Amino acid sequence: MRCGVLLFLVPMGLAADRPFVIRVLDSQTGRGVPLVELRAFNQRAWYSDSNGIVAISDAWAMGRDLLLQVRSHGYRFEGKALGQPGTIVAVKPGGRAEFRVVRENIAERLYRISGAGIYADTLAAGLSAPIQRPLLNGKVIGQDTAIAILYIQPAPCALEQSFVIGFDVRVG
């Protein structure tokens, strides 16, 4: 019995140590595209990092043909799988795939500038990142947006009031 358990755990460990790596590239520039969603049939989603890298290390996916829907605002994936923008990939430890997306926006999406794990998948894939602190550059964990709000500053006398535009930054 112990031997059977050990043999079962070894492939799971290998899957986590050697991820299946997908690189998502802009078809015009050849640069990696960040924030491309790859979604499996069971709704598990991965998002490309700032290098356009997705490192899949989920043990359940290893050794399987995985149907992935490919979506990203401003980009189009031309491959089709079951009538949806997507593809089927054979996921195996240490394997690699490359997807090309067509940019529909005028502006090119370059990279994230804040947040934890900017190049997390790049490092998990054993690749080098172009910045010194690829997991937490700028010491900002996450920032969703900055919202402009009107702030009325209390005046020392009732006859005068000043208005200041401020920003409400929500971190989450």
Q: What is the pLDDT of residues 31-65, one digit of tens each?
A: 999 999 999 999 999 999 999 999 999 999 999 99
Sign, Cα dihedral of 100, 101, 106, 110? negative
pLDDT of 165 > 60? The answer is no
| Rounded alpha-carbon distances, angstroms, from residue 132 to 109, 115, 129, 138 | 21, 15, 8, 11
pLDDT of 93 > 70? The answer is yes
Please return the burial class of 47, using the count of CB atoms within 10 Å of its CB with bins 0-12, 13-18 and 19+. middle
Cβ–Cβ < 8 Å for 137, 118: yes
Q: Per residue in 135-148, pLDDT tens?
A: 887 777 765 566 65
- How do 64-71 and 84-91 pair as beta strands? antiparallel
List phi, psi (to 5°) of 141.
Answer: -70, -50
Q: Using the 8-state DSSP alphabet, how is residue 77 labeled?
A: -
Structural domains of the chain, with CATH: 2-141 (2.60.40.1120)
The rounded Cα 54 to chain-centroid distance in angstroms is 7
168, 73, 39, 52: CA torsion to nearest 10: -90
| Rounded alpha-carbon distances, angstroms, from residue 42 to 21, 38, 47, 83 | 19, 12, 15, 17
Q: Per residue in 118-164, pLDDT tens?
A: 899 999 999 999 888 888 877 777 655 666 556 566 656 555 544 44
What is the band of 98 on the pLDDT scale with cuts at 50, 70, 90? very high
| Model pLDDT, residue 112 | 78
pLDDT of 70 > 90? The answer is yes
In this prediction the pTM is 0.72
